[in-house]
Amino acid sequence: MATVVTAYRFALDPSPAQERALRSHAGASRFAWNWALGRCGERYAAERKWYSGAELHKLWNTAKKADPALAWWGENSKCAYQEAFRDLDRALRDFTKSRKGQRKGRRLGFPRVKKKGRCRDSFRLTGAIGCAGSTVTLPRLGAIRTHKDTGKLAARTAAGTARILSATVSRTAQRWFVSFTVAARRDSPQVHVRPGTAIGVDLGVKTLLTGVDDAGRVTAVAGSRPLSAALRRLRRASRACSRKQPGSARRRKAAARLARLHARVADVRADALHKATSALAARYETVVVEDLNVTGMISSKKLARAVSDQGFGQARRMLAYKTQRNGGTLLVADRWFPSSKLCSACGWRKPSLTLAERTFACGQCGHTDDRDVNAARNLLHLAASGADSQNACRAAVRPGNAGQAALKQEPGTAHAGQTGTATPQGTAAA
Ligand SMILES: [Zn+2]
């Protein structure tokens, strides 16, 4: 039996009064962050250190009673302030770690002041949170209607197999969402129903995913028609937006439309990904995907890239918990494993491959393959070495890719009964 932390997200349908309350809470959270950032700045100037989240909470409790200008605090749940202090605490610690080189990923800047309209409207609540039917109940805000039924989560919390830890409310375009962080107990099956099966999966934009399994079967999940239509509209809206004068009313309108379309694409994509990843996790014991430097890619200017990057991270997260739920394993190839550049037949490495080249042609053995299928085959080959790596507790290297192939097991995807840590990332022996 394992406990996994998952998220449940629902679109909200608030009444006008509730919507005002949501905006007020988002404002309170922003205010608390900025207020705390100010206090931390003062202390840093004097003592070279910051306040912790708990200290900020104490300071706030004194200040809110003493300062008449803060008398409005009681209009919002006290959690909204408290959680903002916790966030700032974490941001400051992450900043310090990043500075010292103790944190992976891109370098973090110092936490900034949040300006209204310039940052995402969001806040987090803890405490008396629940859901039933088509409503969610949040502290202070009460029962808010949702667009979809929350029955599945409600049943699980009622049965005691899931517990809601917190609720993050945020606004995307004009729509409000609540995302519950849930600790769920899973009676994960010890073994997969189809032991020994494996599939390599290449994630893409137009073709959501291309897989090659151990029997050589190729599966391609094309992005659905609504997705390509939404992507087309998104591209057009993006161009239209950039043509408008910055700061103009037209620009603002175009930006709002663009944000709505982004949200729509994300929705459609998430739906399609859910279906596809559920099917994969049910059919295959081992699923191998590429590791993508998602934080590094966000800065990419190309729209298709930006959209797909969100999808990659999402697909990975879905596969991680769904494989576990089915008693399988998700293996993640090393970030530098050149899955699309290697010949899946002989292991020859193509010196360069542009995104426009849709067919892989080997310069050594003459093998040709669809680009994505070739990449998926290479990932599948890793599954074999991955099985070794799990038993031997270190990643193996596939012959022919000197110093390239290393595998890691996605944290949290260990089989039930094992510890949830990743197997040590392999030293790439040449
Ligand atoms: Zn070849």
Q: What digits encode the pLDDT tens for the residues 47-63?
A: 999 999 999 999 999 99
Residue 305: its pLDDT value, please? Answer: 54
Which pairs count as long-range contacts for 384-387, CB under 8 Å and 24+ apart, including other chains? 384/198, 386/286, 386/288, 386/329, 386/331, 387/286
CA terminus-to-terminus distance, the chain: 39
Q: Are 76 and 31 in contact (CB under 8 A)?
A: no
Q: Quick one: average pLDDT of 193-222?
A: 87
If one compares 209 and 28, the residue with the highest pLDDT of the two is 28
Confidence of residue 409 (pLDDT cuts 50, 70, 90): low
Question: SS3 for 54?
Answer: helix
pLDDT at 429 over 70: no
Confidence of residue 84 (pLDDT cuts 50, 70, 90): very high
Give 58-75 as a DSSP string. HHHHHHHHH-GGGGGGGG
**What is the per-residue burial (b if ≥16 Cβ within 10 Å, else e) of 64-80?**
beeeeeeeebeebbbbb
Residue 2: its pLDDT value, please? Answer: 67
Residue 411: its pLDDT value, please? Answer: 43
pLDDT at 18 over 80: yes
Nearest to 180 by CA among 191, 195, 169, 192: 169
User: Which of 26-40, 203-217, 288-302, 405-419 is least confident?
Assistant: 405-419
Ligand 1 centre distance from Cα of residue 347 (Å):
6
Q: Edge-to-edge strands of the sheet including 130-132?
A: 130-132, 135-138, 142-145
Q: Quick one: average pLDDT of 344-360?
A: 86
Confidence of residue 368 (pLDDT cuts 50, 70, 90): very high
Residue 177: its pLDDT value, please? Answer: 94
Q: How far is CA 212 from CA 131, 203, 215, 301, in A?
A: 40, 12, 8, 31
Q: Edge-to-edge strands of the sheet including 198-203?
A: 218-222, 207-213, 198-203, 286-289, 329-333, 407-409
Instruction: State pLDDT tens for residues 243-285.
Output: 888 888 888 888 888 888 878 777 888 888 899 999 999 999 9
Q: How far is CA 406 from CA 103, 312, 323, 398, in A?
A: 21, 20, 20, 9
Q: Are 427 and 408 in contact (CB under 8 A)?
A: no
Instruction: State pLDDT tens for residues 370-394.
Output: 999 999 999 999 887 654 333 322 2
Active-site amino acid positions: 202, 290, 372
Ligand 1 centre distance from Cα of residue 350 (Å):
9
- Work out the mean pLDDT of the chain and round it to a whole number: 81
| Cβ-Cβ contacts under 8 Å for 239 (sequence gap 6 or more) | none
Ligand 1 centre distance from Cα of residue 349 (Å):
8
Question: SS3 for 4?
Answer: strand
Ligand 1 centre distance from Cα of residue 341 (Å):
11
Residue 292: its pLDDT value, please? Answer: 66
Structure tokens at 213: 């399994």
Ligand 1 centre distance from Cα of residue 334 (Å):
21
Q: Which amino acid is at 346?
A: C
Ligand 1 centre distance from Cα of residue 368 (Å):
8
Confidence of residue 312 (pLDDT cuts 50, 70, 90): confident
Strands (E), 258-317: 286-289
Structure tokens at 265: 């694409």
Ligand 1 centre distance from Cα of residue 290 (Å):
21
Q: What percent of the chain has pLDDT over 70?
A: 82
Element at 86 (helix H, strand E): helix 78-99
Ligand 1 centre distance from Cα of residue 428 (Å):
22
Ligand 1 centre distance from Cα of residue 353 (Å):
15
